[in-house]
Amino acid sequence: MDTRAAMEPSPRVLDPAVRPASVDIVIPVLNEERALPGCVRTLTRFLDAGFPLPWRITIVDNGSTDATWPVATALAAELEQVHARRLDIRGRGAALRAAWLDSPADVVAYMDVDLSTDLNALFPLVAAVAGGHSEIAVGTRLAAGARTRRSLRREVVSRGYNALLRHGFGVRFSDAQCGFKAARTDAVRPLVRKIRDDSWFFDTELLLLAEHNGLRVHEVPVDWIEDGDSRVRVVRTALDDLKGLARVARAMAAGRARVQVRRAEPAPLHPDAVLTRPIFDISVFIGIIPGLLHALAYLPLRDMWSPVMTNLGALLLAGLVNVTARRRSAVRTALRFAVLYALTTAAVLSVPAGAAPESGAVAATYCLLALLRWVFTRTRN
């Protein structure tokens, strides 16, 4: 059967009553000659057992130096609905960009070759997109209902990173980097062309651009088990992600992150909406108040303690006010505290020693976070 012909995308909005949406599941691989056969055969058996939509699997070898490419071509020859392609450059983002831009399917998805995510979440993920509920659907390991087994280091880094996204950019999604996503092809292609990252930050940049341009992102809680043979270098990836966040924030502030996207059901906009919208979100202004209290508390405490201990004491005092003013769960409060402490400590240690410059660095850090949040929320819709 010619699966490509059977999966030609419809030019109109997906309508399950007219024709079931077709799905292309991409598996990006780099030097995975051992893991790839088991992954593809397991996924094929799962889909054959009752996946209710037309599907195909696309293996993308992005720069492997072992036998991954011969293994991929052998699987494509053996299994009718498996396809393979090869790129000369490395990076998960580059692999997804190439496959998603060329896919004939209505819905494009991807998952990691280690199958860390339980496949039972695949249909709920795809259904949210194919049914018109959202333009993008993502698996989340951090929302209620998810079950996760992974190392403490990865847990702390992941939660800290996603807390930074929520408090710095005001995003609604809870897990940017889970390797389990689906999107409506015609909606995601303009975003993919805009994304600059070819590596792990691709996922975050995709979601930031999606929300910034008014697309709907749906989350599906997943069961996820960490692969002990993972190739992800957590610290290096985290540093690259921070650089990527700074780049995206600059693009949003300069108006370069706007993309012409196609929504399934565009929300009507009142003609006076732009005129009646507040210039500065009051929630952002309220968020600066603890920062000013933090900076003021820093000054007297600095005469007694070191910069690191002074920052901790001042943040605790400001945090008491913030917790009283805003009701948050214990977990969210702890995560927010950890992120703010890390950022403000880095700020006070980066300026000349002294109460005044260090206190100013604290205030500047809060203002920068508030500015990022304002830029994102004001231009997102």
Integer Cα distance of 172 and 217 in angstroms? 8
Q: Going from the N-terminus, what domains does the chain have, and what CATH number goes with each?
A: 19-253 (3.90.550.10), 282-379 (no CATH)
Integer Cα distance of 65 and 375 in angstroms? 43
Cα of first residue to Cα of last residue in the chain, in angstroms, is 43
Enzyme catalytic residues: 203
Per-residue pLDDT of the chain (381 residues; tens, 9 = 90+): 334 444 544 433 455 555 789 999 999 999 999 999 999 999 999 999 999 999 999 999 999 999 999 999 999 999 999 999 999 999 999 999 999 999 999 999 999 999 999 999 999 999 999 988 899 999 999 888 889 888 877 787 788 888 888 888 889 999 999 999 999 999 999 999 999 999 999 999 999 999 999 999 999 999 999 876 555 666 677 778 888 988 999 999 899 999 988 765 533 333 333 333 334 444 444 456 667 777 777 888 888 889 889 888 888 877 665 544 444 555 566 777 787 888 888 888 888 888 888 888 887 877 777 667 666 655 554
Integer Cα distance of 169 and 126 in angstroms? 26
Integer Cα distance of 39 and 179 in angstroms? 14
How many helices (H) and strands (E) in the chain?
14, 9
